[in-house]
Structure 1
Amino acid sequence: MLNHSCVCPAALDRCDRCDLLLDFPGLHLVAVSKARAGLVLEVESCDPVTGCPGCGVIATGHGRIVVEVLDAPWAGRPVRIRWRKRRWVCLEDVCEVATFLEQDPEVCAPRGLLSTRAIRWAIGQLRREGATIQGLARQLGTTWNTLWSQVQPVLTRAAEDPSRFEGVQVLGVDEHIWHHRDPRRRGPKALTGMVDLTRGTHPTARLLDLVPGRSGTVYRDWLDERGERFREGIEIATLDPFQGYKNAIDDQLEDATCVLDAFHIVKLAGAAVDDVRRRIQQETLAHRGRKGDPLFGIRHV
């Protein structure tokens, strides 16, 4: 099936179906091969002209170079993309740009080692599937350091984006303990985590922040930093049965309804049932002992 919607000549025999599987706008799938590391997809663009990023004058083509990036897994196999990038030359004498390569931020960041699709896939696995960096690196066919070096800047920018605090109506708070962390070498083990529990905006609960420490002061300071607009939007505040968090809610979220979260309600209910069961067993055993139950090896005279 020829891709007649593309500006490429029909003689190049582009295939819509292959491009649909590739799913990178502006790029064509040229070839597919199988390597030891997984699948290798060779792609190229069809931009006939482009402007110089320095002066805007139409540049002259100067061949192609191959750049390899990691892509998200396909059919359970790691994928590498070999992108045949166009090299352009600017012929303007006054322009500081001599040569440059084509770039497409929808495909890969400049000098990036992972495609934007692979980064989105990795972050989605971290957020919703409880994956680890080591496990994702194994699926991508790369190393821990390579994957984290590409994912960490994206997560940092997302953490610094104030828009992630918008629309929060149900706010949860709970402690988090790093049991495997030595506080003498890697900082505090106890942290306070804030979660967006608002229904309808996200498929699951969304972690908003993790701050060192477990106290009412830590939570109160975090709420104070969010600003009045954020606090006014909170309708329900859930927490575990810790008085410090309750004091922070009373101080910063006066108009919100304070409730225990479902997990701790079930946990407390289970603990209460266990206490009653143990007490009844102890009373029953004590009563049998007073009546001279043979099970105790004594007889009442």
Structure 2
Amino acid sequence: MNEVRPQLDELLFSSVEGVSVESVKVTGTIVRVEARTTAMRAACPGCGCWSGRIHGSYLRIPRDLPAAGKFVVVSLRVRRFVCAEDSCPRKTFAEQVAGLTRRFGRRTERLRSALVSVGLALAGRAGARMTDVFGSPVSRNTLLRLITSLPDPPIATPRVVGVDEYAQRKGRIYGTVLVDVETRRPIDLLPDREADTLAAWLAERPGIEIVCRDRAPFYAEGATRGAPQALQVADRWHLWHNLGEAAEKCVYRHRGCLRPVPAPPDEPQEQEEAEPTASSPWPTGHRFAERTRAKHATIHALLTAGHSKRSAARQLGMTLNTILRFSRATTPEELFTGQWQSRATKLDAYKPYLDQRWQEGCTNAWKLWEEIKEQGYPDGYGNVRNYVSRSLRGKPQPVGPRPPSARAVTRW
């Protein structure tokens, strides 16, 4: 043990003055180093006066960096001195070893610096896993506390400062963030977004030449009062955002102009396709229309096969009056007359406009409802949705290349 003591003394405390290693004990996975301070006097942290009068001593046991995979614990005996200055509020004070200990510290400065470096590089959880690897395990909260205890780095007065808001609680509590635009680093956080707070912050920094802000009136007032010498400009993000919104609204209003006019179809084909639609108030594919057509075909098939009307009613589970009504109709379309589809509705006056907009390429039922609502349509969205899904979905749209969307043009 005596042979390795000078080597450990030189290895562990070669850069620390005023410390003498007395013994080194290795027990299992722990290396215990017993040391004591050798300085003759110390400076009072309260008044700065030097004192050599010893009041007593006690043990401090800070942890050090691991060695050869073993935990290193330093049993350091430090002294408490009596302050010789009568006006000093401190009567006694404990000596601190520069580069080794600090007040209330449970780790040596070397271990503390290593943990701070890990925390700055990897933050909480990942840093805690890394400390387990090199043999100095700490929790993620410990790493975060070490980082927050570091003093703020000195920041020079920026020449171009960016001002914007941030949400502490969205919709309720907002603050102000200030960024050095040239270095792209945040400088400070203000607790609110009031003009007085910003003006006071800018007034303390007369070297600011340009204030890059959004278009909020309170930021404009604060920048004018706090930095009258600075040039105020709009930041790049808000310029692009406002330009994009204006472009999207403009393109959406004139999107119909981008669609080419389709070539008119042949007249005979159009008449042939229009005849079955004009004869039936229900379009093909409507569930009530299809059900009525199926019943009509079944009843007429039974009657043609020689069954009586009463027999058809028994087989199909229908009343005799229903069988009579279906038997009198030569086509299913005759049964549709007088149904609820032929009744006048509040949407009838707007159906020509809806058909026109459908042909222009607007297939969004919600957008169509908003447009006719501005024209005075009193009902809700459901009726427009039903009309679009039942009556307009089957109608062909103009033939031709689909124009680019408003957002696509905005991105261009």
TM-score by length of 2: 0.43
Question: Are 1:82 and 2:80 an aligned pair?
Answer: no
Is residue 209 from structure 1 mapped to residue 189 from structure 2 by the alignment?
A: yes
1:142 aligns with 2:138: yes
Ranges in structure 1 where 5+ consecutive residues have no aligned partner: 1-9
Distance 1:146 1:281 in 2: 59
1:235 aligns with 2:246: no
2:228 is the counterpart of 1:254: yes
**Residue from 163, 166, 175 that aligns with 1:176:** 166
- Please state which structure has a larger fraction of its residues in helix: 2
For 1:233, what is the secondary structure of its paired residue?
A: coil
Task: State the distance in 2 between where 1:164 and 1:266 align.
Answer: 33
- Is the contact made by 1:168 and 1:196 (CA closer than 8 Å) also made in structure 2? yes
Q: How far is the alpha carbon of 1:197 from its aligned partner?
A: 3.2
- 2:104 is aligned, of 95, 111, 120, to 111
SS at match of 2:188: strand
Number of residue pairs aligned between Structure 1 and Structure 2: 246
Structure 1 distance, partners of 2:216, 2:139, is: 41
Structure 2: which amino acid aligns with 1:175? E
Matched residue SS, 1:246: helix
Shift of 1:107: 4.6
CA contact (8 A) 1:165 1:208 kept: no
Residues 196 and 31 (structure 1), Cα distance of their counterparts in 2 relative to 1, 3 Å cut: farther
The more displaced of 26-35 and 51-60 is: 26-35
**Structure 1-normalised TM-score?**
0.54
2:192 matched to 1:197?
no
**What is the percentage of aligned positions where both structures have the same residue?**
18
1: distance between equivalents of 2:73 and 2:105? 13
Contact 2:160 2:182 in 1 (8 A): yes
Contact 1:43 1:81 in 2 (8 A): yes
Q: 1:197 to 1:182 in 2, by over 3 A?
A: closer
Distance 1:236 1:182 in 2: 29
Tell me: CA distance 1:209–1:91, structure 2 relative to 1, closer, same or farther (3 Å): closer
Task: Provide closer, same or farther for how the CA distance between residues 88 and 226 of structure 1 changes in structure 2, counting only shifts above 3 A.
Answer: same
1:226-263 CA distances to partner (integer Å, 9 max, x unpaired)? 37451x21101111233332232223222212222333
1:265-295 Cα shifts (integer Å, max 9, x gaps)? 444455556556656655334x547978899
Q: Aligned pair in 2 of structure 1 residues 113, 12: CA closer, same or farther (>3 Å)?
A: closer
Compared CA separation, residues 25 and 48, structure 1 to 2 (3 A): closer
Aligned residue identity for 2:76: K
Q: Which amino acid aligns with 2:105?
A: G
- What's the counterpart of residue 7 of structure 2? 13
Rounded to whole Å, the distance in 2 between the matches of 1:281 and 1:23 is: 78
> Does the Cα contact within 8 Å between 1:175 and 1:193 map onto a contact in 2?
yes
Assess, with a 3 A threshold, how the Cα gap between structure 1 residues 205 and 298 changes in structure 2: closer, same or farther.
closer
Counterpart amino acid of residue 237 in structure 2: F
Pairwise CA distance, 1:176: 1.0
Which residue number corresponds to residue 199 of structure 2?
224
Q: Secondary structure at the match of 1:206?
A: strand
Supply the distance in 2 between the matched residues of 1:109 and 1:124 (Cα, whole angstroms). Answer: 21
- Relative to structure 1, the CA distance from residue 48 to residue 165 in structure 2 (aligned partners, 3 Å threshold; closer, same or farther) is closer
- Residue aligning to 1:4: none
Question: Per the alignment, do residues 108 and 289 of structure 1 end up closer, same or farther by CA in structure 2, a change over 3 Å counting?
Answer: farther
CA distance in 1, matches of 2:20, 2:257: 78
Q: Deviations over 1:189-237 (max 9, x none)?
A: 32211223354xxxx513312313x4xxx1x22233337451x211011
In the TM superposition, what is the alpha-carbon distance from 1:56 to its structure 2 partner? 1.9
Shift of the 113–138 alpha-carbon distance from structure 1 to 2, 3 Å rule, reads farther
